[in-house]
Structure 1
Amino acid sequence: MSRAFVKEDGPDTEPLPDLPLSPHPNYVTPRGLQALRERLAATQAELLRLKARADRLDRLPEKAAERDIRYVEARLASAIPVDPATQPQGEVAFATCVTVADEEGRETAYEIVGEDEADATRNRIAPQSPLARALLGARVGDWVEWRRPAGTVALEVIAIAPLPC
């Protein structure tokens, strides 16, 4: 197709809308801060690769990369680093690993980490999650109630340690 028939000022030349930013304070662990920096570098490298393509008629991938870069830069700019060693000892807090047991005695360890680092498949939970809110401030031996849509679960705090656990 001749370039004469391509509209230069179409919607594919406008930036994509920004991704929504969380209204919560952006607490980050050292690992989470490093992951954000790595994500920014990888996305910047991807944008350079996309811009170097010979055929750039589809600009959507570039726009998506630019949007993602804006998001990660905003998250880095608002980051509040938290050193796990400075967190209260013996109390569930941000940047701690807490091991709990349910009423049947099944034990699970959770890490309370920043929103960008949270990953349910790895038992990494954000401080705004219902489980983290139930656990924050608890001490070893305390029982907490985790209210969830499937019903309330009672959990006993078994151990608390600073990250990494």
Structure 2
Amino acid sequence: MSVAFTKEESAETASETLLPDRPISSHPNLVTAAGLKALEAQLKAAQEAYEISQKIDDVNERRRQGALPLRDARYFAERVRTAQVVPEPTTFDTVCFGSTVTFSRDDGRIQKYRIVGEDEADPKKGMISFVSPIARLLMGKSVGEVIEASGQDIEVVAIS
């Protein structure tokens, strides 16, 4: 085997195994109690996947297979470390972190979202991040209040 081939393979392996860290938001890491549990579960899954990868005999394949779970483990460890659990809302007078807000749009659509932490957000499941544009507009509003977003009036219909 030529030395040039070995160096090329090493460079390729290095680029596959030295993944950049996942970006960490500059916003406070607010989470619900369920969000913290989800972060902890994701951390555990990443750690387990990394441990499994370390049992691979071939060193290059071990590095390739371990790169992603190692990066994820670093990310989730930091998110768990910095998590600030926000208690469930006790009143439903105004929209706040943890609230589920129902609102209507000018075009007749009714939408319902729970305002949660960034890592918990999943709009398809009805959960949006507290730093999303619509959540920022809704925070602090009461039932009946109207806000303008993207050229539409949005009315808060219910808070739970």
- When normalised by structure 1's length, the TM-score is 0.82
Name the residue aligned to 1:33. 36
Change (3 A) 1:14 1:91: same
Aligned partners of 2:104 and 2:155 also within 8 Å: yes
* Residue from 83, 97, 100 that aligns with 1:79: 83
Q: Distance in 2 between matches of 1:66 and 1:102?
A: 43
1:103 aligns with 2:106: yes
Residue identity over aligned pairs, in percent, reads: 39
Q: Distance in 2 between matches of 1:112 and 1:13?
A: 36
Q: Which has the higher helix share?
A: 2
1:17 aligns with 2:20: yes
CA RMSD of aligned residues (A): 2.3
1:124 aligns with 2:141: no
Aligned partners of 2:89 and 2:99 also within 8 Å: no
1:156 aligns with 2:155: yes
Q: SS at the partner of 1:85?
A: coil
Aligned residues: 153
- When normalised by structure 2's length, the TM-score is 0.85
5+ residue gaps, structure 2: none
**Deviation for aligned residue 1:81:** 0.3
Change (3 A) 1:101 1:13: closer
Q: Please, which moves more after superposition, 26-35 or 77-86?
A: 77-86
Change (3 A) 1:14 1:105: closer
Aligned partners of 2:92 and 2:99 also within 8 Å: no
Aligned partners of 1:50 and 1:62 also within 8 Å: yes
* Residue from 130, 135, 138 that aligns with 2:138: 135
**Deviation for aligned residue 1:89:** 3.1
Q: Give the counterpart letter for 1:42 in structure 2.
A: A
**Deviation for aligned residue 1:9:** 7.2
Q: Distance in 2 between matches of 1:52 and 1:129?
A: 41
**Deviation for aligned residue 1:12:** 5.7
CA deviation profile, 1:119-146 (whole Å, cap 9, x unmatched): 1211211111111011111100111112
* Residue from 56, 63, 66 that aligns with 1:62: 66
Q: SS at the partner of 2:60?
A: coil
